[in-house]
Amino acid sequence: MAMWAYKLDGKTTAGDKVIDSALELEKCNFRPKQGAVKAFCAQHRGASTSSSESSSNSGGAVNYSDEEAVSSYVWDRRHDFVNNRKVVKFVEAVWRFIFYLVFEIVGYFTLVSPTVAPWLGDTTQHWEHWPLHDLTGPIRFYYQVELGSYIHQFLWTEVERSDAVEMMVHHLTTIALISLSYLTNFTRVGTSILFLHDSADIFLESAKIFNYISKADGRVWAKHMTDVVFATFAIIFFITRIIVYPRFILSSVLYEAPVYLGGSDWIGFYVFAGLLIVLQVLHIFWFYLIARMIYKLITTGIEKDERSDDEEEEPKPGGDKKRQ
């Protein structure tokens, strides 16, 4: 069976339900607790095998008292679960790649073409003559699609990720910044931040796509593409979020904004500054994960998303790991 194959009909037999419920496979992602299979088989050992005590799967009848047979059945169930998750994650990565790419294109035609927005070259233009800044149609559209995207991502954040809390904080912070900057007409600095952030995410999702493709048989080329694209992502992330963002965006907010806005007595200044500092803290945290991943790849050859909850499959009991 191919790497991406998994059960499409979702059908189970009565025997499946007996084993699944007894070992609580659904509750632990089809991975039974330690000793559960042995205890399950011991409970049925010695009992006569009847039609109600055996079930049929792709490998044939399962004897409840046969520990190897039950373990093989459990492995098959987990194999299907893991592959199903990989397919879902692959589709999600493709989807995110598409909308980050679209957002960057929209940002390009909003801020760069046909004329470059003056605040991209002179950060004081973020604040000069505020609040009398024109809210053009392209900027309004840029804001709307980005806000909709982050609301969608917040509602569908994977709670099982190791950095799920940080992701939720990031999405809430971004939603607040987009909404508040739109309402107060701080759209110049807002568009600069959006345009700066989307560039790295395009390469991150591309690396994930190639990584999932590389796990299929005969896709060695995708492994090399994963390394190249991920290295590109790491470089762009470091430049845009660790160097450019604090140097030109955060410093502009903290030092230039008070000058042009008449001081820092306005409470909104501290709200915006606080949210932007939270973003920078998250940037540093994620770059630490990226650097740790690169270090592991170089020293041990292990390549795994530090933020992912993906689990590797164990070898199939009594046979080859790959299903036929």
| 186 lies in some domain | yes
- Residue 129: CB atoms within 10 A of its CB come to 8
| 8 lies in some domain | no
CA torsion through residues 55, 61, 65, 71, sign:
negative
Residues in Cβ contact with 96 at an 8 Å cutoff, skipping those fewer than 6 apart: 201, 205
Report the pLDDT value the prediction gives residue 75, as an integer from 0 to 100: 77
Report the pLDDT value the prediction gives residue 112, as an integer from 0 to 100: 95
pTM for the model? 0.75
The answer on pLDDT for 7 being more than 60 is: no
Peptide bond into 114 cis (omega under 30): yes
Are 220 and 270 within one domain?
Answer: yes
Q: What is the mean pLDDT of residues 314-319?
A: 58
Q: Could you tell me which residue, 246 or 219, shows the higher pLDDT?
A: 246
- Tell me the C-alpha distance between 209 and 200, whole Å: 15
Range of the domain at 272: 116-299
| 251 lies in some domain | yes
Are 232 and 138 within one domain?
Answer: yes
Are 54 and 160 within one domain?
Answer: no
Are 70 and 123 within one domain?
Answer: no
Are 140 and 208 within one domain?
Answer: yes
Q: Of 27-41, 97-111, 134-148, 199-213, which gets the smallest average pLDDT?
A: 27-41
Query: Which tokens go with 284?
Result: 């540093």
The answer on pLDDT for 55 being more than 80 is: no
Q: Looking at the chain, how many residues does it have?
A: 324
Q: Give the closest residue to 236 by CA, choosing from 277, 279, 209, 204.
A: 204
- pLDDT tens figures, 273-313: 999 999 999 999 999 999 998 888 888 765 555 555 455 55
| 7 lies in some domain | no
Average pLDDT, the chain: 80
Are 196 and 52 within one domain?
Answer: no
Report the pLDDT value the prediction gives residue 162, as an integer from 0 to 100: 67
- Tell me the C-alpha distance between 257 and 163, whole Å: 32
DSSP for 89-149 reads: HHHHHHHHHHHHHHHHHHHHHHHTSSS--HHHH-GGGGTTTTT-----HHHHHHHHHHHHH
Are 152 and 292 within one domain?
Answer: yes
Q: What is the mean pLDDT of residues 12-38?
A: 69
| 105 lies in some domain | no
The answer on pLDDT for 73 being more than 70 is: yes
| 27 lies in some domain | yes
| 128 lies in some domain | yes
Are 244 and 290 within one domain?
Answer: yes
The answer on pLDDT for 126 being more than 70 is: yes
The answer on pLDDT for 50 being more than 50 is: no
Are 161 and 37 within one domain?
Answer: no
Classify residue 156 by its DSSP letter: T
Number of structural domains found in the chain = 2
Greatest Cα pair distance in the chain: 87
Report the pLDDT value the prediction gives residue 225, as an integer from 0 to 100: 93
Cβ–Cβ < 8 Å for 281, 163: no
Report the pLDDT value the prediction gives residue 240, as an integer from 0 to 100: 97
Residues in Cβ contact with 134 at an 8 Å cutoff, skipping those fewer than 6 apart: none
Q: What's at 200, amino acid-wise?
A: A
| 318 lies in some domain | no
Q: Which of 80, 107, 129 is the last residue of a domain?
A: 80
Are 123 and 198 within one domain?
Answer: yes
Are 22 and 149 within one domain?
Answer: no
Are 263 and 133 within one domain?
Answer: yes
The answer on pLDDT for 41 being more than 80 is: no
